[in-house]
Amino acid sequence: MTPIMMEEKVSKAAEVVCKQGMIQFPVSETARAIVSSVVGDNERELDLIEAFREKSSQTLDQLVETTGLPQDRIESAAASLARKGLLFNQPSSAGVMVYRLLPLMLVGLMEYRFMGELSGSREEKELALLFEKLLDELRDRIQGSYDTLYPLLEKAPATDRTVPTRTSEDGKPTRILKIDRKLESFDEYVLPSQSVEEIIDKFDDIAVGHCFCRQRRSLLGDPCSTGAPTLNCFTFGKSARHTVAQGFARKVSREEALGIMQEAEQAGLVHKAFHPHSREASPETSICNCCKDCCDTIRLWRSGTLPLINSTFHLAVIDPEACSGCGVCEERCPTEAVALSDEGVAEVDENACFGCGICSRFCPEQAVALEEGMRRVFIMPPELRSRSGRSR
């Protein structure tokens, strides 16, 4: 095959990959370079990616019909693409193997490629740089279209769900205010699990890998300033079986998972739970433990790329009589929702608080409680929020 023909195959495969997921990317040189870096010149794998152009999830029989290839060649190429982070291959509840092409990110290639233990190789660093360039391109493209995108983003489902830390730094339970603050859209809402312990207890299959955000930042020469641990990216159920099978994570017991979660809380990390297709009535697929320094979602928000769209059952509430004005909550808050007033008392902007409980955990005066009530939080990026004057 000539280099030109191979270049065309890479470009066609990139077109298909760029269409997947919540964020569809233009088929830029950067996107093509990422696909080329991961798949290489493996013609069979590029052809299999092309087979997902019209339908992103297919059974083996469907792929045989789509590609005209024998089953063994499809299974071999699919297994390789799964190990590379581009394909999810797990059986359905009916026991039928389903192959789903994954997006470049959220959740797909970028997350899986940097979730396993890394070597710090030149190839890993080059791929990390390509993804950083892709995110910069996304920022520039979206910032130029915010007026058009804003109405669509306002209606978008929550990307993830915050599960609060429920103890202070010295182990005391967080004070909970049981006040119903439900929004109309949650009138018939089935409340999902509100503690990591409850989530972990649901699953027999639990896997833990490395935080792909902190690992990628480290490859870029920008290690986490908080020194947060990395081995705390959890997957559950079918997702856990997939990450273990592909070598992205290792299976752990409930007891070990709880120990790792406690370590994450001690480091001040935020528990972010994910559900299939943002359907919170469905069991969780994963939990990230995020720092505001490295988390891609928070960095995309802070850089002005995307709003934070989150669901939560909690809101931080400050007791002004107990607050000493130390500023710990303001420093720790990942969404800039807490600030000291002119009187030196902490105040919470409820439209920017996603109820993580970090302020409560580290408050030396125990002046912060968590008020209950289901909320969807839409937080515009800081610069755009102040420039546009839009409410959050």
> Which has the minimum average pLDDT: 16-25, 142-151, 365-374?
142-151
Tally the domains of the chain: 2
Q: How confident is the model at residue 386 (pLDDT cuts 50, 70, 90)?
A: low
CATH number at 108 reads: 1.10.10.10
pLDDT over 50 at 391, yes or no: no
DSSP annotation string for 52-109: TSS-SEEEHHHHHHHH---HHHHHHHHHHHHHTTSEEEEE-TTS-EEEEE--SSSSSH
Tell me, yes or no, whether 119 and 176 share the same domain.
no
Tell me, yes or no, whether 73 and 175 share the same domain.
no
Domain that holds residue 341: 152-388
Q: What count of other Cβ atoms lies within 10 Å of the Cβ of residue 242?
A: 21
pLDDT over 60 at 270, yes or no: yes
Tell me, yes or no, whether 241 and 300 share the same domain.
yes
Q: What is the mean pLDDT of the chain?
A: 92
Tell me, yes or no, whether 156 and 139 share the same domain.
no
Q: How far is CA 168 from CA 178, 364, 365, in A?
A: 18, 9, 10
Tell me, yes or no, whether 162 and 71 share the same domain.
no
Q: What is the mean pLDDT of residues 73-95?
A: 96
Separation CA 18–CA 33 (nearest Å): 12
Tell me, yes or no, whether 57 and 9 share the same domain.
yes
pLDDT over 90 at 149, yes or no: no
Tell me, yes or no, whether 176 and 90 share the same domain.
no
pLDDT over 90 at 277, yes or no: no
Considering only CA atoms, which of 258, 211, 309, 246 is closest in space to residue 83?
246
pLDDT over 80 at 385, yes or no: no
pTM: 0.92
Q: How confident is the model at residue 388 (pLDDT cuts 50, 70, 90)?
A: very low
**3-class DSSP state for residue 223?**
coil
User: 86, 111, 143: which is the final residue of a domain?
Assistant: 143
User: 89, 115, 143: which is the final residue of a domain?
Assistant: 143
Tell me, yes or no, whether 133 and 181 share the same domain.
no
Convert the pLDDT of each residue in 318-371 to its tens digit: 999 999 999 999 999 999 999 999 999 999 999 999 999 999 999 999 999 999
Tell me, yes or no, whether 278 and 341 share the same domain.
yes
Convert the pLDDT of each residue in 45-83 to its tens digit: 999 999 999 999 999 999 999 999 999 999 999 999 999
Separation CA 368–CA 314 (nearest Å): 12
Convert the pLDDT of each residue in 122-140 to its tens digit: 999 999 999 999 999 999 9
User: 91, 108, 143: which is the final residue of a domain?
Assistant: 143
List the structure tokens of 181: 């603050």
Tell me, yes or no, whether 221 and 134 share the same domain.
no
pLDDT over 80 at 187, yes or no: no
Q: What is the mean pLDDT of residues 185-195?
A: 69
Q: How confident is the model at residue 390 (pLDDT cuts 50, 70, 90)?
A: very low
Q: What count of other Cβ atoms lies within 10 Å of the Cβ of residue 220?
A: 13
- Note the pLDDT of residue 189: 56
- Pairwise pLDDT comparison (146 vs 333), residue with the higher score: 333
Q: How far is CA 200 from CA 77, 236, 283, in A?
A: 34, 8, 11
- Note the pLDDT of residue 5: 86
Tell me, yes or no, whether 225 and 344 share the same domain.
yes
Tell me, yes or no, whether 137 and 161 share the same domain.
no
